[in-house]
Structure 1
Amino acid sequence: MKAAVLERLNHPLVVTNVGLSQLLYGQVLVKNLVTGICGAQLEEIKGHKGNGGFVPHLLGHEACGIVQDVGEGVLKVKSGDKVCLHWRKGSGIDSDFPRYIYNGREIQSGKVTTFSEYSIVSENRLTPVPFDTPNDLTALLGCALSTALGVIKCSARVQYGESVLIIGVGGIGLNLVRYAVQAGAYPVVAVDVADKELLARRMGAHFFVNRKQFSLVTALNDVVGITSADVVISTIGDRDTIEESVPLLSGVGRYVMVGQPVPGNSIQLLNAAHFFEGEGKVFMATQSGGFNPSVDIPRYLQMAKSGHLSLENIITGRTKLDHINDALNEIRAGLAGRIMIDL
């Protein structure tokens, strides 16, 4: 099968033929239909996700596919089922790491990977969906949509009328904007270093700030007309941005890190006494807002049926696996929302 392989850190992925191994206990073979590219893959390519010692290996963690075969012990899905592939654990067996054949030798890979025509996946990284569920929706429920919904509801606990600052409006950030607005927040301020105002406005952002043009303090005062934000969500993990934005929290403020800082880097919180202002402030990291695929994906499918969960303006490009490095470069340059790979 064709797959994109991380052969060396900080190098382009190698699109080549990779062989499948025999399914182990709790594993499922899936034919992938479409997968999204998450910003987390950029961090994996740098070796920032604890994966530096495990190359070569495969990447990708949100996809839609069709089950081809199941290993011993698998009861959750069967051959022919349509499934969402997700990086968060759901119900089912947490299998051993899948094995692939690369350049004549066996390599291990993650318990879900999606940048390939077929994937061997741990049972608990799959959730079946009705067969008429749109492919893109199924794939994005694996991360982009579910992360945004979980963060807004469970981590940030956004309330009606609260001010929300969202830093980094890529695939997840754009969804965060949409669901903060849907939760009744005002104003919702989108922040980026690229010119993504049109994208952010289409998702409902009330204001957009380009950090290359304004400091955050200046922007909140002069552009938005507020001095603090009740919720700050950072999707980029940039140390300087975090240090600049934490002091902007209101007296009931919650700061949520979605993006991971570079391993080994420190974050300095100046004048930390401000955390005791008002009712006390919160600074936290989140793992998709505690997204539970087995419970939440069925709920989100009901949201989609009711029209309250939309893919409009999220997907900014489509490509084939052979051109995955071009898509990654577009994301690095800050020019994209979610780019989908048709498999």
Structure 2
Amino acid sequence: MTITEPIIATEALVLHELHGPLVWETLHIYDLQPNEIVVDIQATGICHTDLMFMDGEIPSRQPGVFGHEGAGIVRQTGENVTHIRIGDKVLLSFDFCERCDNCVARHPAYCDAWRLLNSSGHREDGTSALRTVTGEGVWSNFFGQSCFSRVAVVGARCAIPVPAETDLTMLAPLGCGIQTGAGAVLNVLKTQPGQSVAVFGTGAVGLAAVMAARIAGAEPIIAVDVQESRLQMAAELGATHTINAKKQEVVLAIQALTGGKSVQLAVECSGVPAVVSDMLASLCARGRAVSVGMTSVADNVQINLFAHLMGGKEYIGCVEGDVYPPEFVPWLADQYSRGKFPVDKLIKVYKVRDYEQAFADVHDGKVIKAVLDWTE
């Protein structure tokens, strides 16, 4: 690509070294490809996955722009984009190819081109959508969006149009963490009314799982965490019972709550290997469990293979709730509008100028879901 003059200048939060601070600086956008759109970002959720990439637990390069729970208003569209118009409000999710077997089967989280489109740091052709003021490429295209930026170049498949009255600040996180927890309960476990469910870890993903279990009619819904404030929120959002893992032996407590039967279904949202072992030990015969908590590439889990075999238990890995975002995200937004999925209770909004405080609060566990407001 020949570098001429930028078509757009944007302010972005740029990481220059692992574990380093985010730096507020100007970046340039030089071109828009046929299957891309330009979005004026209104809000961005901060996800644990962002932190894992920024800390090097999952590989990335620097300088880089992260952020993958974006929402905004479409400024420009590429010549091949037909489902989105300039001025549309959009929620952003992950990118996928639409062509491979998993995409055709409506499981785009397992797209053959997942890494290339979401975590390679560049477009399909190897170019960078964002460049420094001196024209050097920046690691970007994160989940097809890199929305820790006032203006984002977005793969059009990531963008989901929503009604003009949509509150983007409250719904920005739907496209990753929130759909992950809800999708695990509804799409992967396929929870039915009256089934027992345990949710291990009640951050944003786990609380989304609790809300989805309530929508599905699960009974009981048992929330497990080590923070009383999170457990109180879980109870408010639909958990029928809570267990503080610091104060109770989790497996025994779940057995007591289920008359000795243990649970039929379980979701692990912490990414902590020891929690996975407790979850599997808490399953009844023929119980099913799913892990959605993001973990480092080196983590392993110990399980009692004999108990797993003899109990006929299932343990499933899950990315992004195994959802089809163009349909599932609008469904979640509709549930929110009906008062059935009150995701706003999880959110604390920070003006983007206060981004350092927002990231510190996320790191310290002081907030369930931080959202950056870019509208100032």
TM-score by length of 2: 0.82
Task: Report the counterpart of residue 259 of structure 1 in structure 2.
Answer: 293
Displacement of 1:226 in angstroms is: 4.4
Q: Is the 1:35–1:62 contact (alpha carbons within 8 Å) kept by the matching residues of 2?
A: yes
Q: For 1:13-35, what per-residue CA distance to the aligned partner results, in whole angstroms no more than 9, with x for missing partners?
A: 22222222221231111001111
Letter in 2 for 1:63: G
Cα drift, residue 88 of structure 1: 4.7
Alignment counterpart, residue 331 of structure 1, candidates 348, 352, 362: 362
- Is this contact kept in 2: 1:69–1:79, CA < 8 A? yes
Alignment of 1:85-164 (within 5 A): 85-89=92-96, 96=124, 98-102=128-132, 104=134, 105-110=136-141, 111-164=144-197
User: Separation in 1 of the partners of 2:244 and 2:175?
Assistant: 29
Per-residue Cα deviation, 1:68-88 (whole angstroms, up to 9, x for no partner): 112232222122111111125
Shift of 1:251: 0.9
Q: Which residue of 2 aligns with 1:321?
A: 352
Local SS of the residue matching 2:54? helix
Question: Hey, what does 2:279 align to over in structure 1?
Answer: 245
Kindly indicate whether the alpha-carbon contact (under 8 Å) linking 2:185 and 2:267 is maintained by their aligned counterparts in 1.
no
Task: Provide the rounded CA distance (Å) in 1 between the counterparts of 2:333 and 2:231.
Answer: 29
What code does the residue aligned with 1:331 have? V
Amino acid at match of 1:100: L
Residues 68-83 of structure 1: matches in 2 within 5 Å? Answer: 68-83=75-90
**Inter-partner Cα distance in structure 1 for 2:63 and 2:327:** 33
Partner of 1:216: 250
Aligned to 1:11: 20
Deviations 1:154-194, CA, capped at 9 Å, x for gaps: 11221222221111111111111111122111221112222
Determine if contact 2:179/2:208 at 8 Å carries over to the other structure: no
| 1:206 aligned partner | 240
Change in Cα spacing, 1:57 to 1:200, as seen in structure 2 (3 Å) is: same
**Structure 2 CA distance for aligned equivalents of residues 9 and 121 of structure 1:** 24
Structure 1 residues 231 and 333, CA gap change in structure 2 (3 angstroms): farther
Give, in angstroms, the shift of residue 98 of structure 1. 4.5
Partner of 1:57: 64
Q: 3-state DSSP class of the match of 1:322?
A: helix
Tell me the CA shift for residue 324 of structure 1.
Answer: 2.3
- 1:43 is matched with which residue? 52
Q: Verify the 8 A CA contact 2:177 2:320 in the aligned structure 1.
A: no
Aligned to 1:340: 371
The alpha-carbon distance between structure 1 residues 326 and 223, as it changes in their structure 2 partners (threshold 3 A), is: farther
2:218 to 160, 175, 185: 185
Q: Distance in 1 between matches of 2:31 and 2:71?
A: 22
Residues 268 and 279, structure 2, Cα contact 8 Å, conserved in 1: no
| C-alpha contact 1:32 1:63 (8 A) present in aligned 2 | yes
Q: Deviation at 1:227?
A: 5.2
TM-fit CA distance, 1:222: 5.5
Displacement of 1:221: 4.3
Deviation of the 1:243 alpha carbon? 2.1
User: Aligned letter for 1:154?
Assistant: N
Give the length in aligned residue pairs.
337
- Please state if 1:23 is matched with 2:32: yes
| Distance (Å, rounded) in 2 between the aligned partners of 1:269 and 1:217 | 14
Distance change >3 Å, CA 191–CA 229, structure 1 → 2: same
| Contact residue 181 and residue 292 of structure 2 kept, 8 A | no
Q: Which has the higher strand share?
A: 1
Query: Which residue identity does 1:274 align to in structure 2?
Result: A
* 2:95–2:155 CA contact under 8 A, matched in 1: no
Q: What residue number does 2:269 align with?
A: 235
Deviations 1:44-77 (A, max 9, x none): 122233x33x222111111220111122322221
**Is 1:268 equivalent to 2:298 in the alignment?**
no
> CA separation of 1:209/1:88 partners in 2, compared to 1, >3 Å: closer, same or farther?
farther
Question: Which consecutive residues of structure 1, in runs of 5 or more, have no partner in the other structure?
Answer: none
Q: 5+ residue gaps in structure 2?
A: 1-9, 100-116, 118-122
SS at 1:107 equivalent = coil
2:345 counterpart SS class: coil
Q: Which amino acid aligns with 1:83?
A: V
Check 1:55–1:297 CA distance in 2 against 1; reply closer, same or farther (3 A cut): same
Counterpart secondary structure, 1:67: strand
Corresponding residue SS for 2:343: coil
What whole-Å deviation, never above 9, does each CA across 1:129-173 have from its counterpart, x for those lacking one? 121122135413312332233111111221222221111111111
* Cα gap change, 1:152 to 1:98, in 2 (>3 Å): farther
Q: Secondary structure of 1:108's match? A: coil
Task: Determine if contact 2:91/2:175 at 8 Å carries over to the other structure.
Answer: yes
The 8 Å contact of residues 88 and 293 in structure 1, kept in 2 or not, is answered as: no
C-alpha distance in 2, partners of 1:90/1:193? 39
